[in-house]
Amino acid sequence: MMPVPEPRLEHLYQEVILDHNKSPRNFKEIPDATQYSHGVNPLCGDDYHLYLKIDGEGKVQDVGFKGSGCAISKASASIMTTLIRGKSVQQVEEFKESFLELMTQENVPEAVKFQVGRMMIFEGVKEFPVRVKCATLIWHALADALKDSYKSSF
Ligand code: ZN
């Protein structure tokens, strides 16, 4: 497979992405996770396991991920984990929808961009269509994990 070059993003955004790539947040397995999913992007070789612990009130009590992949996929996963902790499943679903809309649609409304918040740094990745899957991989894994039936016995 041909190596895909890392996109040249705006400097500030690139620094944030490289920082999360170097020191990913919540890079851990959660043994008592209630939701789990495995996401793979064969185009790039990104491969992550995602763990969520949803409490009895439907809030994300803990979230973690393990695996390997390019800087964009790892930073997207790392930042995602920092943003969804403490949120309700409903809020997480809305957040995921907004981010996927930003990454896959043209002329995204300002309200959606506002909701996407810090994840806006990935907007520049849209100029590199092959890398969009890197940025969205963990969010598709998140969708799968939320569909996973609650395994714990509250
Ligand atoms: Zn990738």
pLDDT at 52: 97
Tokens (6 digits) for 28: 């851990």
Which residue ranges in the chain fall short of pLDDT 70? 1-10, 12, 149-154
For tokens 């714990």, the residue is 152
What distance in Å separates the CA atoms of residue 126 and residue 37, rounded to the nearest whole number?
25
pLDDT of residue 13: 77
Cα(132) to ligand 1 centroid in Å equals 8
Q: Separation of 103 CA from ligand 1 center, angstroms?
A: 14
What pLDDT sits at residue 154? 38
Letter string b/e over residues 94-105, b meaning 16 or more CB atoms within 10 A of that residue's CB: ebbebbbebbee
The 3-class SS string of 43-109 reads CCCEEEEEEEEECCCCEEEEEEEEEECCHHHHHHHHHHHHHHCCCEHHHHHHHHHHHHHHHHCCCCC
Provide the residues around ligand 1 (an ion) whose CB is within 5 A. Answer: 44, 46, 70, 73, 134
How many other β-carbons are positioned within 10 Å of the β-carbon of residue 9? 22
Distance 38 CA to ligand 1 centre (A): 15
What pLDDT shows up at residue 7? 59
User: Distance, CA 58 to ligand 1 centroid (Å)?
Assistant: 31
Q: CA–CA separation, 100 vs 140, rounded Å?
A: 9
